[in-house]
């Protein structure tokens, strides 16, 4: 069998009905019920019916993406899928990876990510923060451009930072609205092909999220973590941690630090992994894998058809 890793998607991959293809699978029904009990609401109805606007609310997006990733993982296990050599997750997806590894239960993780989402939204009022994807420019130039934009505004309240290193030519920036707009303008002048504003409600992973991270830190301190059963490669340090306090600290810092996805994929390859399977809705991470390293095989697992394809691919 091929040496493979599972990776879990974060915000942006949600869609109404994203678990419908598995609606009759008992493991999915059980997962939805667990999440509903933990959150005190009907998560299955929210995912099945939406509406889209409700799913797009950060306080809903983060729990439903957690649940969808865990559901796909549990179907894989129930259908006799082998254990991956490692797991990781993009941003919020790291929580799905920790559930897959046994560090957190779903009942622990669901309220935790809802708290994380609510704290992030409260940290920066809607409309005052922004994010944008910078395409066609190497990461080092994006970092430099953000520093120049911040300096040009000359106001300590205006910040913009590189926060998601998604592939060698796609970096997401975040910060205060004026600073993000200034950076987009300067980065296009520096050679970026496009600077696309993202439809998000807060500047995730920027230093503006520090107040949210403090609330999360308090909740994490009270959360009992089990030892990982599968190595979990984290976003913030591109490292595998075994110690519970080190895992808590990484999750705390991840809330206001960058998602180093390019390095995460490279680190998985360095562990001897040849196939990286996105577990959960969408194909975003599978696509990034190929752009980060053409030698790696990226695939997605999100319905019965792709489950069969993934088994065949890894055989």
Selecting among 25, 90, 205, 275, the annotated active-site residue is 205
205 included as an active-site residue: yes
Peptide bond into 51 cis (omega under 30): yes
- Are 139 and 180 a contacting pair, CB within 8 Å? no
Selecting among 13, 25, 90, 91, the annotated active-site residue is 91
Kind of pairing between the strands at 297-301 and 275-279:
parallel
- Are 6 and 279 a contacting pair, CB within 8 Å? yes
Q: Which residues pair with 173 in a beta bridge?
A: 132, 162
31: which residues sit within 8 A by CB, 6+ positions away? 67, 70, 71, 74, 106
180: which residues sit within 8 A by CB, 6+ positions away? 129, 130, 131, 132, 160, 173, 174, 197, 203
Starting at the edge strand found earlier in the chain, the sheet holding 275-279 runs 232-233, 86-89, 4-8, 275-279, 297-301
Distance between CA atoms of residues 259 and 236, nearest Å: 6
275 included as an active-site residue: no
- The catalytic site residues sit at 91, 205
């Amino acid at each position: 069998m091929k040496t493979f890793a599972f990776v879990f998607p974060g915000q942006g991959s949600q869609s109404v009905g994203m678990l419908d293809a598995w609606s009759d699978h008992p493991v999915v029904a059980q997962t939805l019920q667990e999440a509903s009990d933990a959150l005190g609401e009907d998560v299955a109805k929210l995912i099945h019916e939406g509406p889209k606007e409700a799913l797009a609310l950060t306080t809903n997006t983060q729990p439903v993406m957690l649940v969808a990733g865990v559901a796909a993982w549990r179907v894989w296990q129930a259908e006799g899928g082998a254990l991956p050599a490692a797991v990781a997750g993009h941003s919020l997806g790291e929580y799905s990876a920790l559930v897959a590894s046994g560090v957190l239960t779903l009942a622990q993780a669901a309220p935790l990510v809802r708290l994380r989402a609510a704290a992030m939204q409260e940290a920066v009022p809607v409309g005052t923060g922004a994010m944008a994807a910078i395409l066609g420019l190497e990461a080092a130039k994006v970092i430099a451009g953000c520093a120049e934009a911040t300096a040009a505004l000359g106001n300590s309240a205006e910040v913009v930072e590189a926060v998601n290193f998604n592939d060698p030519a796609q970096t997401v920036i975040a910060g205060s609205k004026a600073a993000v707009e200034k950076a987009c303008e300067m980065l296009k002048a520096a050679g970026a092909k496009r600077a696309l504003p993202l439809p998000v409600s807060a500047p995730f992973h920027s230093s503006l999220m520090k107040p949210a991270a403090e609330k999360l830190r308090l909740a994490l301190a009270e959360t009992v973590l089990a030892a990982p059963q599968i190595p979990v490669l984290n976003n913030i340090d591109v490292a595998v941690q075994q110690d519970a306090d080190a895992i808590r600290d990484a999750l705390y810092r991840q809330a206001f630090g960058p998602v180093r996805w390019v390095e995460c994929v490279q680190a998985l390859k360095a562990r001897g992994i040849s196939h990286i399977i996105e577990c959960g809705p969408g194909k975003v991470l599978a696509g990034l894998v190929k752009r980060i390293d053409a030698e790696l095989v990226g695939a997605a697992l999100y319905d019965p058809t792709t489950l069969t394809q993934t088994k065949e691919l890894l055989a």
